[in-house]
């Protein structure tokens, strides 16, 4: 059976949800092996095993985190060359796509980014689905040269624990970073403050605010908290300085595909739609009955978010009661 | 301070972008323009050269005939010269192939910085800048939301979900910028007039010593098997708030087992 490499996204060993989705996908294609770069493996081991990783390549070396992207790409390409896996699955993020890109060049392999599904095709080779042009099209594709390098979006699979699993067999991979990989030095790193809310791209529910909030995200945040949701913002809201860019949903922000997307005071211009159109259920609240967002919704309320959201929040809290 | 800015001609997102019958992006039948995210790169290049007091901004694009429109817009903003790589054999090239063509072109130009946007607005992969760094053997300083150049050092601020990073490199380097970095200038009337006289040179694959066999759709390392238009969403239920809009919303969510 083919070995399928999964690059682990983690914070000091706390494995992020998209990685376990990828372990489940890897299980469809062959035998999953995790690639763990950085510190904190002891915290990750049991999670990786629980979701099917049979092996874990532990990459350790001086300076892996001190230089941008290139050392991680070097290490992963080295493992690909040594192991000849059936595919490499990488959680989609801006940085991870850069790692994937460099590994593709180094190993002479085809690259598919932002897959929303991966299944085993003929002979077990991976076949991917992607969403194109603000979700107007679904594209089915495959890699035709080298080792398929595929980045996969969050919320693309339901993670399935594998019964009776032990912790993965650890394979240490000592690396020496080449001089060429030391070109971009990370001289400072300021961790972002945690909001206590789920990560925007991984959340099952997102509540977003736009121009209609007039700068007051209070009702949006309260409703999000009642639902255990992440908070997003339209480009208009971010440009106006009402919410940070890291919360921007749209073509030049984050693209999200949650179970439920609620847009409050957002007109639904194409820039925004490109960021959320593949959400499973879409709800909108807007004063303007002609707002384009209403063309997308499963349920819409024409009304003032300052009245509708607080009432909805109260109801939601009561039901959780 | 010489900067090469790589730009892309993309279908207008508001003009119904679609695929041609050979499963490639339809670039001929749909109106196109300079990719919005590349405007930030052109603007940043102009600012850096203005600040250095000396040097030039060279625009580089790979694309079909109409891609000159993208190069021309950059010249109107203030870039000094443009190169357009155009060749029928390029049709259907993947990102890996595009980065090969760009790298070969860049090697023929004088530069301290190769500057790009963070991603194209049609393919949205965001991988070409990293591939260029790999192919040219240059430091990769990408996704900059803030940038300063001091002598031969570039320093950027790069934001991800977990942290904000400060990254430094010695020039020459490949740099990409996000839409947070600046406000692109509108071409002035003077700029539009001046652009007509600026050099815009076309290069074929042969000019770059690239074999047609190495690029194009058949040389791509990925293949599209099928493209399906997503069925339009079923019209949803819309209610007007009459003092109960919030409750109705939650009723809907409860019915769909979302709350």
What is the SS3 assignment for A19-72?
Answer: HHHHHHHHHHHCEEEEEEECCCHHHHHHHHHHCCCCEEEEEECCCCCCECCHHH
DSSP state, residue B231: P
* Residue among B254, B253, B248 at smallest CA distance from A262: B253
Reading the block at residue A185, the tokens are 């030095």
Of A101, A227, A307, the CB nearest to B131: A101
Report the length, in residues, of chain B. Answer: 259
Same domain, A157 and A267: no
Q: Which residues of A touch B140 (CB under 8 A)?
A: 68-70, 98, 183-184
| A194 in any annotated domain | no
Residues 280-299, chain A: which have Cβ within 8 Å of B?
A: 281-283, 285, 289, 294-299
Reading the block at residue A313, the tokens are 């929040």
| A191 in any annotated domain | no
Spatial distance between the Cα atoms of B100 and B87, rounded to a whole number of angstroms: 14
Same domain, A48 and A116: yes
Same domain, A229 and A157: no
* Residue among A115, A116, A108 at smallest CA distance from A144: A108
Reading the block at residue B126, the tokens are 């965001």
Number of structural domains, chain A? 2
Interface test with A, best of B131, B134, B142 (most A CBs within 10 A): B134
Same domain, A174 and A250: no
Residues in chain A predicted with pLDDT less than 70, given as ranges, are none
A164: distance to nearest CA of chain B, Å?
31
DSSP state, residue A248: B
| A301 in any annotated domain | yes
Contact A297 B164 (CB under 8 A): no
Q: Which residues pair with B164 in a beta bridge?
A: A190, B159
A180–B contact, CB cutoff 8 A: yes
Of A100, A297, A315, the CB nearest to B236: A297
Provide Rg for chain A, Cα atoms: 21
Q: What are the structural domains, with CATH classification, of chain B?
A: 3-214 (3.40.50.620)
Regarding beta strands A281-286 and A299-302, do their DSSP bridges make them parallel or antiparallel, or are they unpaired? parallel
Domain boundary among A182, A213, A236: A182
Same domain, A212 and A109: no
Q: Which residues pair with B150 in a beta bridge?
A: B153
Same domain, A27 and A130: yes
A193–B contact, CB cutoff 8 A: no
> Which residues span the domain enclosing A168?
3-182
Contacts of A199 (CB under 8 A, 6+ apart): A16, A17, A230, B161
* Residue among A316, A313, A289 at smallest CA distance from A300: A289
Same domain, A21 and A162: yes
| A196 in any annotated domain | no
Of A110, A251, A296, the CB nearest to B222: A110
Domain boundary among A182, A214, A239: A182
Residues 224-243, chain B: which have Cβ within 8 Å of A?
A: 224-230, 233-234, 236-241, 243
| CATH number of residue A295's parent domain | 3.40.50.1220
Same domain, A36 and A173: yes
Contacts of B257 (CB under 8 A, 6+ apart): none
A146–B contact, CB cutoff 8 A: yes
Domain boundary among A150, A182, A214: A182
Reading the block at residue A89, the tokens are 């699955």
Same domain, A235 and A296: yes
Q: Which residues of B touch A274 (CB under 8 A)?
A: 13
Helices A70-83, A94-107: axis angle to 10 degrees equals: 50
- Give the pLDDT score at B133: 98
Same domain, A163 and A309: no
Query: Which contacts of B213-217 are long-range, i.e. CB under 8 A and separated by 24 or more positions?
Result: B214/B97, B214/B100, B215/B89, B215/B90, B215/B93, B215/B97, B215/B100, B215/B101, B216/B89, B216/B90, B216/B91, B216/B92, B216/B93, B216/B97, B217/B22, B217/B24, B217/B91, B217/B92, B217/B93
Residues 86-105, chain B: which have Cβ within 8 Å of A?
A: 94-96, 99
- Give the pLDDT score at A214: 97
| A190 in any annotated domain | no
Reading the block at residue A254, the tokens are 């984050």
Reading the block at residue A265, the tokens are 């005071």
Same domain, A174 and A294: no
Same domain, A215 and A177: no
Q: Which residues of B touch A130 (CB under 8 A)?
A: none
B143–A contact, CB cutoff 8 A: yes
Sequential pLDDT tens for chain B (259 residues) = 999 999 999 999 878 889 999 999 998 888 999 999 999 999 999 999 999 999 999 999 999 999 999 999 999 999 999 999 999 999 999 999 999 999 999 999 999 999 999 999 889 899 999 999 999 999 999 999 999 999 999 999 999 888 999 999 999 999 999 999 999 999 999 999 999 999 999 999 999 999 999 999 999 999 999 999 988 778 899 999 999 999 999 999 999 999 9
| A32 in any annotated domain | yes
Residues 82-121, chain A: which have Cβ within 8 Å of B?
A: 93-95, 97-102, 104-106, 109-114
| A192 in any annotated domain | no
| CATH number of residue A37's parent domain | 3.40.50.620
Interface test with A, best of B246, B247, B259 (most A CBs within 10 A): B246
- Token pair 């040097």 is found at B55
Contact A297 B130 (CB under 8 A): no
Q: Which residues of B touch A183 (CB under 8 A)?
A: 133, 138-140, 169-170, 173
- Give the pLDDT score at A315: 96
| A198 in any annotated domain | no
- Give the pLDDT score at B185: 97
């Amino acid at each position: 059976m083919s070995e399928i490499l999964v690059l682990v996204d983690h914070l000091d060993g706390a494995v992020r949800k998209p990685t376990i989705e990828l372990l489940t996908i890897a299980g469809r294609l062959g035998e999953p092996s995790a690639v763990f770069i950085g510190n904190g493996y002891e915290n990750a081991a049991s999670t990786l095993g629980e979701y099917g990783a049979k092996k874990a390549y532990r990459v350790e070396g001086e300076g892996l985190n001190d230089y941008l992207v290139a050392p991680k790409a070097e290490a992963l390409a080295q493992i690909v060359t040594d192991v000849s896996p059936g595919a490499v699955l990488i959680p989609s993020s801006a940085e991870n796509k850069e790692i994937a890109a460099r590994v593709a060049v180094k190993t002479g392999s085809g690259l598919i980014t932002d897959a929303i599904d991966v299944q085993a095709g003929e002979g077990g080779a991976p076949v991917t689905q992607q969403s194109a042009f603000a979700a107007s099209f679904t594209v089915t594709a495959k890699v035709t040269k080298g080792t398929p390098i595929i980045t996969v979006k969050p919320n693309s699979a339901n993670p399935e624990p594998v019964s009776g699993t032990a912790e993965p067999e650890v394979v240490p991979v000592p690396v020496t970073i080449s001089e060429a990989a030391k070109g971009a030095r990370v001289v400072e790193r300021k961790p972002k403050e945690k909001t206590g809310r789920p990560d925007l791209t991984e959340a099952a529910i997102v509540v977003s605010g736009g121009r209609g909030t007039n700068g007051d995200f209070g009702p949006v945040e309260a409703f999000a908290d009642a639902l255990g949701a992440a908070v997003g913002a339209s480009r208009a809201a971010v440009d106006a300085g009402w919410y940070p860019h890291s919360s921007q949903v749209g073509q030049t922000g984050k693209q999200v595909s949650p179970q439920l997307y609620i847009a409050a005071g957002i007109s639904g211009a194409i820039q925004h739609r490109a960021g959320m159109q593949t959400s499973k259920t879409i709800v909108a609240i807007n004063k303007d009955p002609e707002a384009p967002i209403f063309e997308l919704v499963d349920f819409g309320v024409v009304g003032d978010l300052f009245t509708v959201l607080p009432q909805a929040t109260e109801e939601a809290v009561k039901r959780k009661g | 301070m010489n900067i090469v800015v790589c730009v892309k001609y993309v279908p207008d997102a508001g003009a119904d972008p679609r695929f041609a019958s050979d499963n490639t992006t339809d670039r001929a039948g749909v109106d196109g323009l300079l990719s919005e995210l590349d405007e930030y790169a052109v603007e940043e290049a102009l600012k850096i050269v203005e600040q250095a007091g000396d040097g030039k901004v060279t625009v580089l694009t790979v694309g079909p005939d109409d891609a000159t429109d993208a190069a021309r817009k950059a010249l109107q903003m203030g870039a000094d010269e443009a190169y357009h790589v155009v060749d029928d054999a390029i049709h259907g090239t993947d990102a890996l192939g595009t980065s090969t063509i760009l790298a070969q072109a860049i090697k023929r130009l004088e530069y301290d910085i190769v500057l790009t946007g963070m991603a194209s607005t049609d393919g949205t992969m965001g991988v070409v800048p990293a591939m260029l760094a790999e192919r040219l053997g240059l430091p990769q300083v990408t996704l900059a939301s803030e940038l300063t150049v001091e002598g031969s050092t570039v320093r950027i601020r790069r934001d991800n979900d977990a942290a904000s990073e400060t990254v430094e490199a010695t020039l020459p380097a490949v740099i990409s910028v996000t839409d947070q970095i600046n406000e692109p200038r509108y071409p002035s009337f003077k700029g539009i007039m001046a652009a007509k006289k600026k050099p815009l040179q076309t290069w074929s694959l042969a000019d770059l010593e690239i074999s047609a066999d190495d690029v194009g759709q058949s040389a791509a390392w990925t293949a599209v098997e099928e493209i399906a238009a997503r069925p339009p969403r079923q019209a949803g239920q819309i209610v007007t708030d009459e003092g109960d809009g919030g409750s109705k919303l939650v009723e809907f969510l409860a019915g769909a087992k979302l709350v």
